[in-house]
Structure 1
Amino acid sequence: MLRENIVNLLSFIEVARECSFTKAAARLGVTQSTLSHSVKTLEERLGVKLLIRTTRNVAPTEAGEQLLNILVPRLGEIDEKLNDLASNNSLPVGNIRIATSEHAADAYLWPKVREFLEAWPKINVELFIDNGFNNIVAERFDAGVRLGESIEKDMVAVRISPDFRMKVVGSADYFSRYSAPVTPDDLHQHQCINFRLSTSGGIYCWEFAGAGQEIKVKVKGRFIVNTVRQCVEAASAGLGLAYVPEDLVNDALASGELVQVLDEWCPVFPGYFLYYPNRQQHSNAFHLFIEAVRSHPL
């Protein structure tokens, strides 16, 4: 009976995390019918509905969310203890799952993760790249990466990058056809490369600061993307202005491929932080990872 309960609970967690029976079945290596039967059996045993099923999506009910909040931290602790036992008298072992944005992964995480994997051959690392805000507890991530201003107060935050600026850029060809904007309000007269947020599905409003005020501008343009690198490529192709992290365009600015505008209006943003629940116990492998990606003051 205990083994059946564990299988059913793990099946439910995977479906809730993937929001799909199809994806969860593929991840677990079972058929959809087997997975559906397992979740149904668990619901019948508990006497509550755990998942809302529609033709397009699967989501946990309120009771399902409560069960996830109970199960996920405890199963994580068990997994960590097993990894700790396995690592006794040997190299550290374990699996580390990190939810991160595209820019943070490319610019700051990947160089350090590459060295970390070479140094610790028995530790596995998964970078789940998504520009939205993931629920790292419900989705069974060990940690996430966000800008410092976006992290909840009950999380432990470890800096992994310095602060950085955003820059408004366009190609020389674009500025041969349009005059350069002088203030953020002038952007309404320009074609801009819009960035779609994966969490809300909305369009990112460009954020500026100057003359003692903070301004958000909802720009317009014919091209919308959901990765910052595509923003840069579109700007280089002359499709419009892009608002992107400075490290992605410094070389293009130096070569003259791109031209910067509104420099005095572009604020400094807090750097990226690795964050994780304060109450959660972590394996030796995770602590090694934290030290590997931590940003040390110059």
Structure 2
Amino acid sequence: MDRETWADIAIFAGIAEAGSFTRAGVRFGVSASALSHRMRGMEARLGVRLLNRTTRSVKPTEAGERLLASLRPAIREVDEAMTALGAERDRPAGRVRITTHRSAAFDLILPRLDGFARDYPDIRVEVVVDDGLADIVAQGFDAGIRRRPSLEQDMISVRLDDGVPLRLVASPGYLAAFGTPHRPQDILAHRCLSYRRPTAGSLYPWTFERDGETFSLEPPQSFLTNDIEVLCDMARAGLGLAWITAIQAAPHLASGSLVSVLEDWAPHLPPNYLYYAGRRHLPPALRVFIDAMKTA
């Protein structure tokens, strides 16, 4: 059914309900003559007279009443759907589907979900963890969370944090066996555990920063993985040195299963951003999710 027919149905139902072209014109914001012309066109296309017109009122014909009887359930469903949409503005509901890298899922989303669930019990949140880049529009996501260098250019983005420092860690057993590095160049004599970016396939650079000085080294590649949790487990198992985030490292440093080295040379990862396509008519559920993620 084309748009013109949909519009004609709404106009016909509105005129029948109002009982007057003038009153219906006020409702639709058009002149009575324009509505009369529109109805004559509809009747001509159908080959059936739908309205009886007098100088005082407009009433449906028998054929018009039959059509209205068929249309009323559908019109009622549309009205109920529109009312539900209006209610959703006041009480957001539905699904929010997010793609995010693993560290943001643990560090940013998970700590906020309990409070979000209490505030918005009718919203279902789906978090898809993927350290690679995702096309949120093509893959049906409402939004994504990535670090700034990974954002698509045409996305609207909201900054969620200030970035996090990295920690170069190893197990106490590994350091006892192979020694503790005291300067960045010392890593060249160590086993090194590297992270491979899932989308690009490149290795994350071993970059060191101190007092405005930044430089990178290419370490010996003893073990590689594309999963930051596996990287952490490798370090805890005594397989070598690894860069992980300070947040990820904190419980293991506290328990003594990992030791941080070269802390004065530790770099920072870029900030995380929540990004989405389009600013107009943002779904209420997504809007309140974004607000929740911005809350420190």
Instruction: Check conservation: 1:97, 1:127, Cα contact below 8 A.
Output: yes
Corresponding position of 1:198: 198
Give 1:86's aligned amino acid: A
Instruction: Check conservation: 1:84, 1:284, Cα contact below 8 A.
Output: no
Corresponding position of 1:128: 128
Change (3 A) 1:211 1:84: farther
Which string of whole-angstrom CA distances, capped at 9 and with x for unpartnered residues, describes residues 30-87 of structure 1?
xxxxxxxxxxxxxxxxxxxxxxxxxxxxxxxxxxxxxxxxxxxxxxxxxxxx997634
Corresponding position of 2:210: 210
Separation (CA, whole Å) in 1 of partners of 2:205 and 2:293: 30
Which string of whole-angstrom CA distances, capped at 9 and with x for unpartnered residues, describes residues 65-120 of structure 1?
xxxxxxxxxxxxxxxxx997634236322221111001100111022123323332
Pairs within 5 Å for 1:142-291: 142-210=142-210, 212-279=212-279, 281-291=281-291
Shift of 1:149: 4.3
Give 1:141's aligned amino acid: F
Instruction: Check conservation: 1:101, 1:130, Cα contact below 8 A.
Output: yes
Shift of 1:244: 0.2
Give 2:241's aligned amino acid: L
Change (3 A) 1:172 1:281: same
SS at match of 2:260: strand
Shift of 1:253: 2.0
Give 2:92's aligned amino acid: P
Shift of 1:215: 2.2
Shift of 1:141: 1.6
Give 1:167's aligned amino acid: R
Cα RMSD over matched residues?
2.6
SS at match of 1:89: helix
Give 1:89's aligned amino acid: A
Instruction: Check conservation: 1:83, 1:94, Cα contact below 8 A.
Output: no
Instruction: Check conservation: 2:156, 2:279, Cα contact below 8 A.
Output: no
- Structure 1 residue ranges (4+ consecutive) displaced by more than 4 angstroms after TM superposition: 82-85
Give 2:132's aligned amino acid: G
Change (3 A) 1:137 1:89: closer
Instruction: Check conservation: 2:133, 2:150, Cα contact below 8 A.
Output: no
Shift of 1:256: 2.9
Change (3 A) 1:278 1:217: farther
Which string of whole-angstrom CA distances, capped at 9 and with x for unpartnered residues, describes residues 243-295 of structure 1?
00001112322343221112121122333221123455421111111111113
Separation (CA, whole Å) in 2 of partners of 1:87 and 1:229: 41
SS at match of 1:198: coil
Pairs within 5 Å for 1:40-189: 86-89=84-87, 91-189=91-189
Instruction: Check conservation: 1:148, 1:271, Cα contact below 8 A.
Output: yes
Which string of whole-angstrom CA distances, capped at 9 and with x for unpartnered residues, describes residues 3-25 of structure 1?
xxxxxxxxxxxxxxxxxxxxxxx
Which string of whole-angstrom CA distances, capped at 9 and with x for unpartnered residues, describes residues 172-202 of structure 1?
1111111222333322221111212110223
Q: Higher Cα Rg: structure 1 or 2?
A: 2
Give 1:161's aligned amino acid: D
Separation (CA, whole Å) in 1 of partners of 2:118 and 2:85: 17
Give 1:166's aligned amino acid: L
Q: Any gaps of 5 or more consecutive residues in structure 1?
A: 3-81
Corresponding position of 1:63: none
Instruction: Check conservation: 1:100, 1:130, Cα contact below 8 A.
Output: yes
Q: Any gaps of 5 or more consecutive residues in structure 2?
A: 3-79
| TM-score, length basis structure 2 | 0.65
